[in-house]
Amino acid sequence: MKTSITLFLLIFSIIGFNANILWQNELAIRHGVNIEWFRTAAETTDGGAIYVWSDTKLGERDLYAQKVDAQGNLVWGAPLMIDGKPDRQEDPVITKTSDGNYVIAWIDFSIDLDGDVYAQKINNAGQLLWQTGGVPVCAVPGVQISLNIEPDATGGAYIVWVDSRNPGLDLYGQRLSGDGAAQWALHGIAIANSSTGDEEQNTMWADGTGGLIIAYALNIGGAEDLFVKRFLADGSMAWPQVLALSMADGNQSKVKMAPISNGEFVFVWQDARNIQSDIYAQKISLAGQVLWQDPFIVFSDNSAPLPAPQDNPRIVQTSDNAVVIVWEDKRLDNQNPDLFAQKINATGQKLWNPDGLPVSTAEFFQRQVRMASDGNGGAYMVWEDARNGNAPNIDVYAQHFNAAGQELWTTGGLAICTMPNEQSGGSVKVANNNVFFSWMDMRNGSVGLYYQVLNATGAPLLAANGVEVFWGLSGDAIKDQYVVAARQNDVVVVWHDTRYANMGSQIFYQIVNLDGSIDFVDNGKSVTNLTGSDQLTPQVVVLPDDSFAIVWEDKRYDDSKIFAQLLDPNGNRMWGDMGLELTTVTPLGQYDPFVSYDNGAIYVGWSNYDFIAGTFYLHVWGQKMVNGERQWGPDGIRISALPTAQLNNECRILGMSKRYFIWKRADPDDFTISSLWVKLVNPDGTSAPGWPNQGVPVSTYVNSDRVQLLPQFKPTAQGLAIIWQDMRGDFLKSLYGQHISSNGAYILDPLGVQMTNSNHEQEMHSMVVGNEGITFVWSENQTGDPDIAISRFSHSGQPQWGAFGFYLSPNQNSQESPWLARFHNSGLVAAWSEFPGEESDIFYRYINPDGSMVGNGSQILCNAEKQQYLPVILPMNNNEAVVIWSDGRASGKTEILGLYAQKISNETVSNNDSVTPPVHSFLLAQNFPNPFNPSTTISFSVQDNSQSFELKIYNVKGQLVKTLYRGHLTQGQHALVWDGLDDQSRLVGSGVYMYRLSSGNREEMRKMVMIK
């Protein structure tokens, strides 16, 4: 432990703390609630129902419950938090216990990223009866998922889950007492753990004597068979061996069970021993005896000329010593299942039509039925129904069959909820002769939880279409589709939002103030009213009066088209509630919108499919907007105005700056060969003086390895500075730059200037410009983990900080997606994503105008759970900066991304001599290989050799291990090998070591690992 603590302190002497963060809490610009509903419901002893779900309203995913009554009241007021530990808690199950309380179990990721099993007990008053955070049921390494739960006879519960500890997928279980104590072995006992296959799907029931009976599917190489076991209260097996329920040819799966009188149980399953799957059943005694004929077929039409599948059976016990079975059936429609039902008594007699009774045969599908006994020999049923227009318009319907099989409610199903969009995941519970239905509801675009109560006659007791239990925003902000822009005293944030995914994703926007507040409603305003189609790839530009224009790709027509919206300084729509089309024609497709502003006009560019010589090719088009009017004709102007013979060169826009357009042009004979082109246009859309109609290539390099990608560009006093990824020579991405004057002339070498030369792949770059030159950051992979580096060139193309520049952070973690910003005093700040472990956080570092670093290392801006990506920095007029990033703290089964922000101060020193280059005596690289055994190479470059150098190696206690070099060095690249020996020529042990290179008052330190 001492070693761990020492290493922690040593590392955090390199990684600074976030003393420069100005807001007490990060600002959630866009964060959803993201309800997950798993039909977790229980009837209560006082005539109500309890519903359990997980959501992310507090950031990470937590577990909540609510109690409702038959009058539509939320009995507990605000939802009851069942558990809110770090990371996520999800997939709950609930059972009513023998003492009138309720046990809830869930999968918990607070300690193990693979998930553990926890449980909590609550009473009818909404009080937690066990320890805060729940009791651990299973916390062994490996995946634990797919819970099942049933009450025991003493106020506790049986909990079963799928477990990968062995590895493979097995079933494990635990019995908790009424006070939450584990009654079986720590972390559970093996319920089914065959060494030859996987056990997952299962069904279980309390056996009526204090024990448990469970059936499960064993999957061996894709072939599934069914087995049954019984366990006593002490966890021992009640039967001498496992009982084979079905081992016929084909797969037997989807097994379900229900108790019947005299300690007997009926099992039903989907059976594929014939051409199509059928519904089979069997009754088992408490002693493990098979009581019905074998096989017992509930329904099969395999003798029909065109047999259809019957799938997904469900079963419920009735009060007259029988069971009702319902299944999905395609006998009437080979695409969409209907629902059929059968009732079978204890002796195995089918009491309803031998072919089953139709529950619903409406148009489109009926599926996912759930049932509850009516206490009078019949059953209530609820299902998902697509009769009203098919998906995504899915509704909830229900039916009540009496003991004789008569439909007591509307024939074919009674509508419980038919609101727009999807309602699904229905459950049914009966309390005090009232029937409680609950479901997941997307009537408002995002997921909510609703319920309805009917009396036995089918009369609703609540408002039509149900009462809301809880609702919150769903979806997320797409990671690589958010843009930001600074106004005079605040920040505009625009993003692609999937909150209404079933009605079409939309573009939203928000204003972030410098005090950490927002101007509009939580989670932003939409750029238009709902169109029913997707909007994506937004771009934004701010005008001098703080109004702002947004452009996007819109799919409301058959083909994508570019739309625009102007928002006044208060965020009000100026170009109508549906946005403005940039062209009157609707071509085959318009993509990649960009927008800029110059001298009173808004300029928009996009990629447009043009029909040329019988084929569609993408070309760059533009439009100018003044006062909402198109200035370049009804359909804009082609910007990439290639010669007629070259119109088969595809051109796709990559960006705009004022009246500059930049695009990628692909070789018609080989689309992998591409070059970057730039063009400046006059206000009337014609080519500016000195600029050819087809534009100017950023580089005159024309060899077959011409691959130019992902330009970054900024306007300068002379024209436009551009940095791009270039694969010439070795097909590794290297950074090249160009500076093109406003009259279309090359300021730098026409071939372009290589900005760094290290023979390693360079990508993900960002740049700023100022009087001092062109400064840029990038990610470079030298040893397997990319690091962030920074460099500067003069406007004339001369390196200012050596041939390479230098690394921003000595942390030995993977670093990516850097963003560089420049303060008004010429100081710099960079932010990036870094992986201290399996998940990325946001780090940042200040750089003085002369390139010297502020502080001893990088600082953590955000290290919330899950991933944080793609930071963007906006310096403000008050010499502070707002940092915005894509944040995955709400993620779980799938990644769910929000947008967060934080404000940082300016810790850099003003430099009035903006052209004075810094003096960096050396640049230290990461050792290679790393980890190593027993030797490794430490490389570095020397730029100023006026002072002597020392290269020393330390252990994690800070003790000197080896002085590898002391003395003067020549300028250039150097590499020294450490053979793993200390100063006494003894081989050191495995562990973490630090190597430090120093010269004068400058030093750099990095970490390395020896593993024997």
Pairing of the two strands 525-526 and 506-513: antiparallel
Per-residue pLDDT of 696-727, as tens digits, reads: 999 999 998 999 999 999 999 999 999 999 99
| φ/ψ (deg, to 5) at 11 | -65, -40
Residue 1011 has pLDDT above 70, yes or no: yes
Q: Which residues sit opposite 598 in a β-bridge?
A: 601
Q: What is the mean pLDDT of residues 191-209?
A: 95
**What is the rounded average pLDDT of the residues 238-267?**
96
Identity of residue 518? I
Paired tokens of 995: 């190597």
- Could you tell me which of 928, 922, 868 has the C-alpha nearest to residue 898? 868
For 196, phi and psi rounded to 5 degrees?
Answer: -110, -5
For 389, the token pair is: 């227009």
Q: Minimum mean pLDDT among 275-279, 578-582, 753-757, 814-818: which range? A: 753-757
Please identify which residue in the block is written with the tokens 């170009």: 575
Q: How many CB atoms lie within 10 A of CB 529?
A: 11
The tokens describing 390, both together, are 């098919």
Give per-residue pLDDT as tens, 537-548. 999 999 999 999
- Spatial neighbors of 339 by CB under 8 A, at least 6 apart, are 326, 327, 328, 329, 358, 359, 360, 361, 366, 367, 369, 381, 383
The number of angstroms, rounded, from the C-alpha of 623 to the middle of its chain's C-alpha atoms is 36
Q: How far apart are CA 816 and CA 886, in angstroms?
A: 14
pLDDT band at 910; cut points 50, 70, 90:
low
Q: How far apart are CA 401 and CA 409, in angstroms?
A: 8
| Residue 750: cis peptide before it, omega within 30 degrees of 0 | no
**Residue corresponding to tokens 């509850």:** 372
* Residue 531 to residues 521, 572, 766, 883, 973, Cα–Cα distance (Å): 21, 18, 35, 32, 60
Distance CA 228, CA 246 (A): 10
Q: Is the pLDDT of residue 7 over 80?
A: no
Least Cα distance to 13 among 1010, 1008, 1005 occurs for 1005
- Contact (Cβ atoms closer than 8 angstroms) between residue 844 and residue 907: no
Query: What is the average per-residue pLDDT within 853-876?
Result: 92
Alpha carbon distance 607, 622 (integer Å):
9
The dihedral of CA 524, 525, 531, 537: what is its sign? negative
Question: What's the Rg (C-alpha) of the chain?
Answer: 34
> Residue 141 CA to chain centroid, in angstroms?
24
Cis link prior to 295 (omega < 30° from 0)?
yes
Per-residue pLDDT of 420-449, as tens digits, reads: 999 999 999 999 999 999 999 999 999 999
* pLDDT averaged over every residue in the chain: 93
φ, ψ at 4 (rounded to 5°): -60, -45
How many angstroms separate the CA atoms of 963 and 972, rounded?
A: 21
Q: Is residue 952 predicted with pLDDT exceeding 80?
A: yes
Identify the residue whose tokens are 């989807």. Answer: 254
pLDDT band for position 917 (cuts 50, 70, 90): very low
**Predicted model pTM:** 0.86
**% of the chain at pLDDT higher than 90:** 82
**Within 10 A of 291 (CB to CB), how many other CB atoms are there?**
18
pLDDT digits (tens, 9 = 90+) for 125-159: 999 999 999 999 999 999 999 999 999 999 999 99
CA dist., res. 355 & res. 759, Å (int): 74
Q: What is the pLDDT of residue 921?
A: 67
**Which two structure tokens, joined as six digits, stand for 534?**
């997707």
Start-to-end C-alpha separation, the chain: 21
Whole-number pLDDT of residue 405? 98
**Residue 585 is encoded by which pair of tokens?**
């024609």
Specify the pLDDT at position 19: 47
Number of Cβ within a 10 Å radius of residue 466: 25
Instruction: Please determine, for residue 458, whether its predicted confidence score (pLDDT) is greater than 90.
Output: yes
State residue 520 phi and psi, 5-degree precision.
-110, -175
| Residue from 751, 780, 836 nearest 1007 by CA | 836
CA distance 577 to 565: 9
The predicted model gives 386-413 an average pLDDT of 96
For the residues of 721-755, what is the DSSP string, one character each? EEEEEE-TTTSS-EEEEEEEETTS-BSS-TT-EES
Q: Where does residue 806 rank: exposed (0-12), middle (13-18), buried (19+ CB within 10 A)? A: buried
Per-residue model confidence (pLDDT) at position 350: 98
pLDDT computed for residue 838 by the predictor: 87
Task: Please give the backbone phi and psi of residue 728, each rounded to the nearest 5 degrees, phi first.
Answer: -65, 150
pLDDT beyond 50 at 271: yes
Which of these, 91, 50, 37, 38, lies nearest to 429 by C-alpha position?
A: 50
- Please give the C-alpha separations between residue 308 and each of 245, 246, 332, 365, in angstroms, as whole numbers: 24, 21, 8, 15
Q: How many whole angstroms separate alpha carbon 198 and alpha carbon 216?
A: 10
In this predicted structure, what is the pLDDT of residue 92?
99
Q: Report pLDDT digits (tens) over 767-780.
A: 999 999 999 999 98
* Gap between the Cα atoms of 553 and 866, Å rounded: 30
